[in-house]
Amino acid sequence: MRRRMAILLWLTSCWATVMAQGLTRSGLDPQRFDSVMDGTRTALYTLVNRQGMEACVTNYGARLVSLVVDGKDCVTGFDNVGDYRRYRQNYGATVGRYVGRIKGARFVLDGMEHRLQENGRGVTSHGGYPGFADRIWTMTALTDSTVTLQYVSADGENGFPGELTVRLTYTVSSRNGLEVSYEATTTKPTVLNLTNHSFFNISGRMDREITDELLWVNSRRIAEFDAQKNLTGRMMKVKGTPFDFRKPRRIGDRIDEDHAQLKVTKGYDHSFVLDTKGNDQKAAAIVTDEASGMQMTVYTTEPVLHIYTGNGLKGNTRGKQAVCYPRRSAVCFEAMHLADSPNQPSFPSTVLRPGETFRSHTAYVFSKIK
């Protein structure tokens, strides 16, 4: 008991020192997020738990800016709100109204065709522009360990029907997890696919690749891409392929193999259909960094985990702590539904109707290797 009290007093002392300097544990200065965009003020919110975990969130794009675990920041991003707008990278962003690509920039719902904003080669990608990642959300509740943000998407925004009200709560939990919870309602039948797009490197070493980290995924199938990176509607079994992570192995072991799906994306950037069946008490994926001894387990109610290994990072964008993130220096675990679901009847539905409430929960839980 005395040892626990001593640790708690030490953490409190450290936190008091940091606050006196006006900085977060990750070194972020909240004043660099205090700005006005489109007539609305942006801010940085700091969440902590008793174990010393800290998450910093900005209402610009409802983004996770930093996540400090065991004294190390485990996510990529920028140290000021201006760079998030300038570079339009999805670091830590809430992506919506529909993450992924909707082929043909259209869908039919209840016999009515909806034409969407086309923002790339005949598709609507990530809900069009500006999407949820480009909007300033309203903070509606704040405690030491939670923040709730809200965005109201107008009826017809980027072509999507219905006024959509989204509430997002970030929580730094007692189990040393970052919990991400969504609720949404609509005034008209619509489609919805939300996710958090954080780039993780649980070693805290953002200047190094994640290819040596071990990955396990609770999945037997991935969704197949065509040559243009649109979903074909078919599923591919992972057995015997570079996508088989049913037993833990290094991310980099087979990432550059001569495989048709890897050629499309130049690495992993695929939707793994989970065998958890929406049970967020079952692990969806586990990533382990043996060098640092850190492990992160992903839990989610969503049917899919889209795993992206940062193949498009080029080392030419300067992020936090003046690090230029090199290729494959982070990995994303985007809990979501399948892209193009509105045009694929065999996929789990993403339809939301008036009177219904969409709910989704994902947790990123950290632990040390035993």
Measured distance CA(364)–CA(358) in Å, rounded:
21
**Strand, coil or helix: 89:** coil
Residues listed for the chain? 370
Q: What is the pLDDT of residues 83-109, one digit of tens each?
A: 999 998 899 999 999 999 999 999 999
334 labelled catalytic? yes
What is the helix (H) or strand (E) element at residue 5, kind and residue range? helix 2-20
The pLDDT value recorded for residue 23 is: 82
- For CA atoms 258, 261, 262, 263, the dihedral sign is positive
Q: Which of 197, 270, 337, 361 is catalytic?
A: 197
> What is the arithmetic mean of pLDDT over 216-227?
98
pLDDT tens-digit map of 137-175: 999 999 999 999 999 999 999 999 999 999 999 999 999
Give the model's pLDDT for residue 9. 36
> 21: which 2 tokens?
């300097």
Mean pLDDT of 46-60: 96
Q: Which of 126, 302, 334, 337 is catalytic?
A: 334
Q: Which CATH architecture has domain 27-368?
A: Distorted Sandwich (2.70)
Q: Is 72 helix (H, G, I), strand (E, B) or coil?
A: strand
pLDDT tens digits, 174-193: 999 999 999 999 999 999 99
- Distance between CA atoms of residues 231 and 224, nearest Å: 6
Look over the chain and give the mean of its residue pLDDT values, rounded to a whole number. Answer: 93
Q: Residue 41, Cβ neighbours under 10 Å: how many? A: 12
CA distance 334 to 362: 9
- In this predicted structure, the answer to whether residue 219 has a pLDDT above a threshold of 80 is yes
Peptide bond into 25 cis (omega under 30): no
- Phi and psi based region of residue 73 (left: phi greater than 0; alpha: psi -120 to 50; beta: remaining): beta
pLDDT tens readout for residues 8-44: 333 433 443 334 346 899 999 999 999 999 899 999 9
Residue 130 pLDDT more than 80? yes
Q: What is the pLDDT of residue 42?
A: 98
Based on the residue annotation, tell me whether 306 is a catalytic residue of this protein: no
How far apart CA 312 and CA 319 sit, in angstroms, is 15
